[in-house]
Amino acid sequence: MVREQDLAAALRAELAAVEPARACCRRAERAGLGMAATGRARSAGVARLAVRLDADRAAVDTFDWHRAEEHCRVAWLRGCFLARGSLSLTPSGTHLEFVLPIVEAPALVERLLEMGLPGSWRVRRGQGVVTWKGRETVLGFLRRAGASASTLELESVAVTRALHGDLNRVLNAENANLRRTVLSAVRQVTAIEALERSGRLRGLPAHLRLVADVRRRAPESTLSELAALSGITRPRVQRALERLESLADEHPVGSGVG
């Protein structure tokens, strides 16, 4: 499986390589980069992007979110993510964060909500942190931002993790069932041996003796397998075993009851 840091780096490189076709989108993306467009980029890819967008530097501080078209808003968000965003993959899901000054966090949450990308924000180490925790929200943003290859990889990782999670749950359930089966078999064999030692087993009805004999010969078998071996139905096998345990509990060996 692709490592988290490799996927995050590939995502950042893919978004940084997006070349806005419209001049307005180029200005919007450069505005989204903020200080990263003035020589403080987090990576070489983002630095090269800032250079490519440098022709429109005069418009850095003039981006108007409320009047901007959706394509410009997406470009601005792409720049904002490249400058201040991060992606993390955890067992609980896919998270995408923007780290920015506290005073800017509420406004970003409002902007994301307008784009149909609801998020939340909190304070961490003196910074505002805007977070998306829903996988569909994260993937929706990445598709719109132009990270098609990384989106496919993220979906693949998510499916693989889900399959692993389902498999682990199935294995855990099977292990629990096996443990219960083993414990039940131990109790049943112990009860049968106690009845035999007390001499009460030979006086029981034929079907109880038959089930007792089959269980002792096949202690690891399931109820269905015992039913097949004994030639009687599974529910009747289960009732017979329960009856054998009950009889053994009534007069335990050493209780003084004949």
* Topology annotation, domain 4-146: Endonuclease I-creI (3.10.28)
- Measure the CA–CA gap between 94 and 146, rounded to whole angstroms: 18
Domain ranges of the chain: 4-146, 173-250
83-102: burial string, b at 16+ Cβ within 10 Å, e else: bbbebebeeeebbbbbbbee
81, 147 in Cβ contact below 8 A? no
pTM: 0.59
**pLDDT per residue of the chain (258 residues) written in tens, 0 to 9:** 446 677 778 888 888 888 888 988 988 998 888 876 666 666 677 777 877 787 555 445 568 898 999 999 999 999 999 988 888 877 667 788 999 999 999 999 999 999 988 989 999 999 999 998 877 888 888 889 888 887 777 777 766 776 776 677 877 888 888 788 888 889 999 999 999 999 999 999 999 999 999 999 998 888 999 999 999 999 999 999 999 999 988 765 444 433
| Main-chain phi, psi angles of 8, to 5 degrees | -65, -40
Cβ atoms of residues 120 and 130 within 8 Å: yes
